[in-house]
């Protein structure tokens, strides 16, 4: 469930370790950006929508300072917890092709490029390396947005409304049953990388196909995806504590020997 609190309340709870999952096609992370929660800033702010959810609004960034200065109550509303994002990465999003007049892509290779996807397990605040990669990915995302024409921005980001950029938004995608199988499969592959290679293979093929069509893919998308792929590779470090003890190793082995869950 979303823990939506004022910024000051979120800061007071900063000592509580809470990782919250953001699943693909889950509409809940969009809350509260279309709601005026006693915050006059939302009367005239045009949000970047879904991608904004992944930004570090809790940090003392210039963006947050600008928001606070623009609000009468000096407060904004945020979700509590660090993000764990299950992202279906695309070599070039369909919405970008639809909004742009990229005739070369549409004529030659649109279907091949659009079909090149992979599922990633991203934890921006897992360690220093992922924080650095996340910051780089954010720079590429901002660069992409800056490259859009005013007409493309109007089409993609309707004023004062979350853009409909995702596949099939459904509240059902917020339930843990929709991603428990994915977590299970990724954990087992991390524990036994020689036995299970489904996601390793998927990511390798994704990168190879991106390289084949690199000249047709915006640089910002290409390099952002490289950052995301490297972030996913850092997931193995989450097992370090368990792997340092015999009981931890035994627990992981016992888990891998357990029952399969549907992905």
Residue-wise pLDDT for 127-138, tens only, equals 888 888 888 888
pLDDT of residue 59: 43
Structure-derived torsion over alpha carbons of residues 59, 61, 64, 70, reported in degrees to the nearest 10? 150
Please list the residues that pair with 85 across neighbouring strands. 22, 122
45: alpha, beta or left? (left if phi > 0; alpha if psi -120 to 50): beta
pLDDT of residue 54: 38
Render pLDDT for 20-73 as a digit per residue (tens, 0 to 9).
666 666 555 555 443 444 444 444 333 333 333 334 444 444 545 555 555 555
Q: Break the chain into its structural domains and give their ranges.
A: 5-78, 87-242
Q: How many CB atoms lie within 10 A of CB 26?
A: 23
Low-confidence stretches of the chain (pLDDT < 50) are 1, 32-61, 63, 160, 162-163
Question: In angstroms, rounded to a whole number, what is the distance separating the alpha carbons of residues 105 and 91?
Answer: 12
CB 182 within 8 A of CB 33: no
Q: Which residue has the tokens 């407060």?
A: 75
3-state secondary structure of 119: strand
């Amino acid at each position: 469930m979303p823990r939506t609190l004022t910024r000051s309340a979120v800061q007071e709870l900063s000592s509580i370790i809470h990782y919250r999952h953001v699943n693909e096609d889950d509409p809940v992370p969009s809350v509260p950006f279309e709601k005026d929660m006693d915050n006059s800033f939302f009367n005239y702010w045009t949000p970047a929508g879904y991608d904004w959810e992944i930004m570090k609004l809790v940090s003392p960034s210039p963006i947050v300072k600008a928001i606070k200065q623009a609000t009468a109550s000096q407060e904004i509303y945020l979700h509590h917890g660090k993000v764990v994002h299950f992202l279906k990465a695309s070599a070039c999003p369909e919405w970008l092709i639809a909004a742009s007049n990229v005739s070369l892509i549409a004529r030659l290779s649109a279907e091949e490029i659009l079909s090149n996807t992979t599922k990633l397990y991203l934890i921006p605040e897992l360690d220093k390396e992922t924080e650095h990669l996340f910051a780089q990915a954010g720079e590429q995302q901002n660069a992409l947005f800056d490259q859009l024409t005013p007409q493309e921005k109007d089409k993609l980001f309707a004023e004062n409304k979350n853009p409909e950029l995702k596949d099939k938004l459904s509240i059902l995608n917020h339930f843990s049953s929709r991603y428990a199988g994915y977590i299970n499969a990724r954990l087992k592959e991390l524990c036994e990388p020689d036995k299970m290679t489904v996601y390793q293979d998927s990511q390798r093929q994704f990168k190879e196909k991106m390289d084949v069509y690199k000249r047709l893919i915006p640089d910002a998308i290409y390099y952002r995806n490289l950052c995301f792929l490297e972030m996913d590779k850092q997931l193995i470090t989450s097992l370090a504590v368990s792997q340092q003890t015999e009981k931890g190793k035994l627990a992981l082995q016992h888990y891998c020997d357990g029952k399969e869950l549907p992905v």
